[in-house]
Amino acid sequence: MMHTLSLWYKHGWIRAIDLSLAEQLQQLGEPESVAFMAALTSFQLGQGHPCLELAQLYHNPKTTLNLPPEHAQQESLQACDDPAQVFAAQPQLGHLEQCLTQLQQSAAVNTNNSPLVLVGSRLYLRRYYDYEQRIKNDLKQRMQTQPKVNTLQLQQVLDALFGATDRISWQRTACAMAMRSLFTIVTGGPGTGKTYTVVRLLATLQKLREQPQPLRIRLAAPTGKAAARMTESISTELENLRAIPAVADVLAEGLATEAVTLHRLLGTVANTRQFRHNAHNPLYTDVLIIDEASMVDIEMLAAVVAALPAQARLILLGDKDQLASVEAGAILGQLCEGAEHGHYAPQLAQWLNATAASQIPAEKIDNNGSQWPYLQHTTMFHESRRFDAEKGIGKLAFEVNQQRAEWLQQWLRDSKIMAQQYPEFDNIHALPCSRADAAVIKQLVMDGYAPLQQLISARPTEQTDEALNQWAKAVLTQLGAFQLLTAVREGDWGMHAFNQRVTYWLHADQSQQHGWFIGRPVMVTHNDYGLNLRNGDIGVVLQRGAGEPLRVAFLNPQGDVRWILPSRLTNIDTAYAMTIHKSQGSEFDHTVMVMPPADAPILTKELLYTGITRAKSHFTLIFSQPQLVLKAVQRRVIRNGGLTDA
C-alpha cells in the first residue's frame, strides 16, 4: 500500500503532504492500512471533503476518490493501479468492518491529541473534526438563544417596510425569522431579493433593538469582489428606504453599508493560520452578516464563530445551489439541505404567522420539522426578479438546477430554431464546436471584447487625475460586459489556454515584454495585504500618458481608482478567461461558458448552474459533445461531513 501511495505521488495523483502523513504514521509503528487510510483522508481534504467517508470508499473507491485524476497521462495509467484495483489486490484492507476495527485499535485514532478522529464511518484529520464541532456547537447555542420580541411591534415595522398584504412575502418572513434567534440563513438564486431583504433586515434590527445605542453591525464576504458588490448593492438599496417615515430615525443614526473581506474582518496574522480576532479577542459587533456564504469554507467559518461574541447575531446570505467553496467544506449547501421544501415546525409557522397577515403555506409545514434544526432558521427565496423561470437564462438555470434533461437536450440541438420561434429564448445560445480555436469562437470573442478595446484606445487628452480616473473606471466597468468562463484550468479548453489564445487574437501586434501589455485584464489570485488587494480582485493594465510606465488600475470598494505598478503584483492571472469557480460573486452582461470535450468529475450541475447565473443579459454555451453537458447536469457535488448530524 505504501508503494501504491509512492507511485500515486510520483505521477501526480496525490500530494506530497498526503504521502508524508502516511510515512510518518508508519515510522511511528502504525499498521500500513491505517497509514494508507490517513493518506486518503488527507487527499480527500485537498478535494474539498472535511473527512473520508469509509462506507462510500468501500462501496466505490474509484468514484469516491476521483482517481485517476482527469489530467492523468497514459504513462501513469499504465504504471499505477486505480483504487478499485488496490482494494481488490490488498487483503489487509479487508472489508469495512475490518477497517473500522483496525482504526479503532490504533493509537493514531481517537486518543488524546491523535492526528485522526473516527466518528461512525467518517475519518477526519483532527483539526477539521475540531472545526466541525466548533461550528456545530456554536450554531446550536445561537439557535437556542431566543431574544424577546414583541410580535405586534415587529408586525408594524414589517408592514411599514414591506406593506401590509395577505400574500406571503418570503423577504418579510426572513426579517421576522432573523428576530427570533441569533442565527439566520437567507438563501436564494440571483435576483431573488437577498440585498433588498438585508437592508430592511438591518432597519428592523435597529428599530427593535433593546439597547439604547445603535447596534454595531458588520458586513463581510469571502472575496474582495463579493465585498465590493455587497457594499454597492446595499448602498443603492438603502436610498429606497429613505422615503419610509417609520424607519427615518434609524436611518438618521446610519446603517452599515461597507462590507469587508472575512480575512480583513478577522485580521490576518502574517505567516500563520491564525487571526487577530479570536475567542480571546472577539469582534466588537452585535450583528455579523456574511454574503456569498456558499464560498465560505469550514476553516474560515470556524474562525468566524470563534471570534463572534456569544450574544451577537450571525446571518448568512447566499445561493445554496451554487458551487461550494474551493477549500474544504460545503457549509451553506449542508445547512440548507431541503430548504426548498420548508420543513417548518408547526410552532415556528404559528409564530411567523403572528407577525404577518399572510400564512405560511401548508406544504412548507412539517410536523417532524424538529428533525431539520437548521431549516427552522432558514428562509429560501424562489421567485427571481431578474430571471423568469420560463424564459431565457432563468429557464436554462432552472432546468439545470432541477437536473431535467428533456428540454436541455432539445435546446442543445435546436437553440437557433428555438430563438427564432420563441423570442423569450433569444438571449441563450448553444454553440457546438469541435475545436477550441474555431473561427466562430474567435469571432465571438473579438466581437465581445471590441467595445473594451475601443474604450482602452480612447485615452483622454486631458491628462488630469480626475479625467484619467474616470477613464480607468469606465474601462473596468466595461470588463463586466463580456466574460469567458471555463470549467477547467488546464488543457486546450482550459483557462490558461484560452487566455493565451485570446491574448494573441487581440494583441498579436503589440509588444508583450514580461507579459505586461496595455489592455491586459488581470485577476488577483492570492490576498495581498500589503497592497490591500484580495483574491478575486480584477484590474486592467493601462498607460496614463505617452512615455509613462504601465500601471494596473483597480477599483477599491468605495469605487475609487488605484494605480499600481505591475512589478508590485506577484500573484495574478490574465483574466480574459476565468474559471467558473473564480467567477462566483460576479455578474457579466454576456457570459460565454466553455465546456471541455472530455468528461471529468468537476463537471456537475452546480458548476453549470453557477456559470449560467453569472449572465445578466446574454448567455452562450460552447461545447463539443452534447451528451457530456447532459451527463454533467445529472452529476451533483457531494461533499462529506457531519455538520448536519444530530
Task: Give pLDDT, residue 348.
Answer: 92
Q: Is 282 annotated as a binding residue?
A: no
pLDDT at 195: 83
The residue with cell 450574544 is 311
Paired strand residues for 592: 484, 620
Strands 287-290 and 313-318: parallel
424 exposure class (CB count in 10 Å sphere: 0-12, 13-18, 19+): middle
Alpha-carbon dihedral 226, 232, 233, 236, rounded to 10 degrees: 180
**In whole angstroms, what is the distance from residue 294 CA to residue 584 CA?**
9
According to CATH, the topology of domain 145-381 is: Rossmann fold (3.40.50)
Residue 190 is placed in which grid cell? 440571483
Instruction: Confirm if 527 and 463 have CB atoms less than 8 A apart.
Output: no
Assign domain 1-133 to its CATH architecture. Answer: Orthogonal Bundle (1.10)
Model pLDDT for residues 594-622, shown as the tens digit of each residue:
999 888 778 888 899 999 998 988 999 99
pLDDT band at 514; cut points 50, 70, 90: low
Calculate mean pLDDT across residues 472-488: 92
Domain ranges of the chain: 1-133, 145-381
Mean pLDDT of 330-351: 88
Say yes or no to pLDDT of 513 above 50. no
- pLDDT, position 23: 92
Name which of 583, 477, 455 is nearest 232 in CA terms. 477
Sheet holding 615-623, edge to edge: 428-432, 615-623, 588-594, 482-486, 577-579
- Between β-strands 551-555 and 561-564, what pairing exists: parallel, antiparallel or unpaired? antiparallel
Measured at the CA of 28, the angle between CA 27 and CA 31, to 5 degrees, comes to 85
Is 530 labelled a binding residue? no
Contacts of 439 (CB under 8 A, 6+ apart): none
Please report which confidence band the pLDDT of residue 390 belongs to, taking 50, 70 and 90 as the band edges: low
> Residue ranges of the alpha helices (H) in 291-391?
298-307, 331-335, 346-353
φ, ψ for residue 470, nearest 5 deg: -65, -40
Predicted pLDDT of residue 236? 83
Rounded average pLDDT over 53-67: 85
Query: At 82, is the pLDDT very low, low, confident or very high (cuts 50, 70, 90)?
Result: confident
Residue 623, classed as helix, strand or coil, is strand
DSSP reduced 3-state for 618: strand
Instruction: State the Cα–Cα distance between residues 164 and 73, nearest whole angstrom.
Output: 64
DSSP helix/strand/coil, 348:
helix
Residue 611: φ, ψ to 5°: -65, -45
Is 189 labeled as ligand-binding? yes
Map residue 287 onto helix, strand or coil: strand
d(CA 543, CA 554): 13
At residue 510, the pLDDT reads: 64
Residue with cell 493601462: 542
Instruction: Give the closest residue to 611 by CA, choosing from 624, 625, 595, 600.
Output: 595
Residue 388's pLDDT is: 62
Nearest-angstrom CA–CA distance, 573 and 152? 54
Average pLDDT score over residue span 565-594: 89
**Positive/negative CA dihedral, 144, 150, 151, 155:** negative
Mean pLDDT for all residues in the chain: 86
Rounded CA-CA distance 187/492 in Å is: 36
What does 407-467 look like in DSSP terms, one character per residue? Answer: HHHHHHHHHHHHHHH-GGGTTEEEEE-S-TT-HHHHHHHHHHHHHHHHHHH---SS--HHH
Q: Regarding predicted confidence, which is higher, 411 or 217?
A: 217
512, pLDDT greater than 60 = no
In terms of Cα–Cα distance, which of 340, 339, 266 is closest to 306?
266
Distance CA 370, CA 344 (A): 8
pLDDT exceeds 50 at position 238? yes
The secondary structure of 506-540 as a DSSP string is HHTTS--GGG--TT-EEEE-S-BTTTTB-TT-EEE
For the chain, the helix, strand and coil percentages under 3-state DSSP, each to the nearest 5: 45, 15, 40
- The residues, ordered by sequence, that sit 6+ positions from 555 with a Cβ below 8 Å of its Cβ are 228, 473, 476, 561, 562
Per-residue model confidence (pLDDT) at position 389: 62
How large is the average pLDDT for residues 162-167? 79
* Choice between 600 and 98, residue whose per-residue pLDDT is larger: 98
218/287 Cα distance (integer angstroms): 6
- Annotated binding residue at 190? yes
| Residue 191 labeled ligand binder | yes
Confidence at 95, pLDDT banded by 50, 70, 90 = confident
Backbone angles phi, psi at 287, to 5 degrees: -140, 135
Distance CA 13, CA 5 (A): 9
The C-alpha atoms of residue 326 and residue 646 are separated, in whole angstroms, by 26
pLDDT for 309: 95
Half-sphere CA count of 360, side-chain side, radius 13 A: 26
**Structure confidence at residue 184 (pLDDT):** 94
Task: Tell me what percent of the residues of the chain surpass a pLDDT of 90.
Answer: 33
User: Alpha-carbon torsion 160, 163, 166, 169, what sign?
Assistant: negative
**Among 37-41, 265-269, 393-397, 582-586, the least confident range:** 582-586
